[in-house]
Amino acid sequence: MKNYLGYSLWLTLLVLFALLGMHWLPRITVSGHTMRRVDLLGDVRYPEPEEVLSDSDSIALPPIVKPVFLDTCRTGLTCIEDYGDSSRRGMAPFYEALDRIDSGGVVRVAVFGDSFIEADIFTADLREMLQKRFGGCGVGFVDITSITNGFRPTVRHAFGGWASHSVTDSIGFDGEKQGVAGRYFIPGKGAYVELRGQSKYASLLDTCRKASVFFRNKGDVRLTVQVNKGEKRELTFSPSGRLRQESVGGRIGAVRWTVEEADSALFYGVAMDGDKGVILDNFSLRGSSGLSLRSIPLEALRQFNRLRPYDLIILEYGLNVATERGRNYDKYKKGLLTSIEHLKECFPQAGILLLSVGDRDYKDEDGELRTMPGVKNLVRYQQSIAAEGGIAFWNMFEAMGGDLSMLKLVNAKPPMANYDYTHINFRGGKYLAGLLYETLMYGKEQYDRRRAYEEN
């Protein structure tokens, strides 16, 4: 039998050399679009440093504005710019809430974002840093079901028997039923959800002091709850149209909620919390731009605020908005301002902090990795949104290093970001959480100094 292995080898080499040679062909333009050059080595070539020009050099963008009460920032730190200082919708509620912890208070933080913080990336370490400094335990609020439960290292999450509905669903979603996370869950008989604390990734998460379930029922509901695999306790609830929170206390390492019977009931989530210190909830929604927040019914958010009032709401969006050559984000600015006003109305006591989009890289026409010019434009728009909305702003793009900082995270040893040059991993999340934590603590020091000066 004739051996064709040699022919296959020569054919492979011929194709390889042909593809390598195509890199030196002139650019081809089809219907006004210039095609990228073929570059087989593009993924391993580190781009030479050069100044990356933004589209903002040739278009009108929102002006760079500085808050009236911006203290001098420490060298090497990207400080929070508080445009809500006089209206108390910036950082003041959070800083003052931290002072109440010594007297047994609880400080609640909510982080709303996209896939950048999915599976508790970034928020896991921010939670741990705050809880180590100010006390607290537990992972906070968790959706009834999750597509990332197998990847989230901060809690062991198991469930079964639920029909899940999300604002991102193309069909079958009723916006009037959604809760704070943009989701709702309908139980079948015997549906269950279980949380077990973890200590492998972050400390203070192996046990909590309070476990809760959040639901709304128009008919009778019968639940059982099992703490630390002990005896089951039965709970019955008569019809009510309001959001309910049922809790159990103690030293809780694991808790399992089971729906024995439910008539016209909607469930939203479970939680593992401390009875003092810091509680931080992660509300990530893959593919979100933040505009869907305005679709959550006012009464649903108000009822949630009654049970779980936040001192600080952090907004992290932009990955699903920025484009390679994004120039004008006026419509997005208008929409996000509407979402912010919606949150203000529903959480009247909370300060709000908007994080800018981080660095995101792409390949240009030469196959070279560059920071998306549209990202830098969006950062300016987000700063303008914070100024106009009267809230606080943190330039995460600048804090992580600006141009090509995502590439540096990808090439770090070990890597701190993924090869899509868009998403950080848990190591990158810890790095960025440390940057935000440092600026939060510095901001608290400056706030206390200024308040002491004004009182004297």
pLDDT tens-digit series, residues 266-321? 999 999 999 999 999 999 999 999 999 999 999 999 999 999 999 999 999 999 99
**pTM value?**
0.87
Distances (CA, A) of 153 to 124, 409, 433: 9, 21, 16
Residue 43 has pLDDT above 50, yes or no: no
Q: What single string gives the DSSP state of each residue in 320-360? A: TT--TT----HHHHHHHHHHHHHHHHH-TT-EEEEEPP---
pLDDT band at 323 (very low <50, low <70, confident <90, very high): confident
Instruction: Count CA within 13 A, CB hemisphere, residue 257.
Output: 31
Of 368, 362, 331, the residue nearest 47 (C-alpha): 368
Average pLDDT (160-187) is 96
Distances (CA, A) of 150 to 58, 145, 156, 201, 283: 46, 11, 8, 14, 17
Cα(29)–Cα(51) distance, integer angstroms: 26
Cα(144)–Cα(183) distance, integer angstroms: 9
Residue 376 has pLDDT above 70, yes or no: yes
Instruction: Count CA within 13 A, CB hemisphere, residue 86.
Output: 8
Average pLDDT (373-386) is 94
Tokens 């999340």 found at: 429
pLDDT tens-digit series, residues 84-118? 977 899 999 999 999 999 998 999 999 999 999 99
185 neighbors 145 (Cβ within 8 angstroms): yes
Detail the DSSP E strand segments found in 140-264: 140-143, 155-166, 183-197, 208-217, 221-227, 232-237, 240-252, 254-262
Three-state DSSP at 369 gives strand
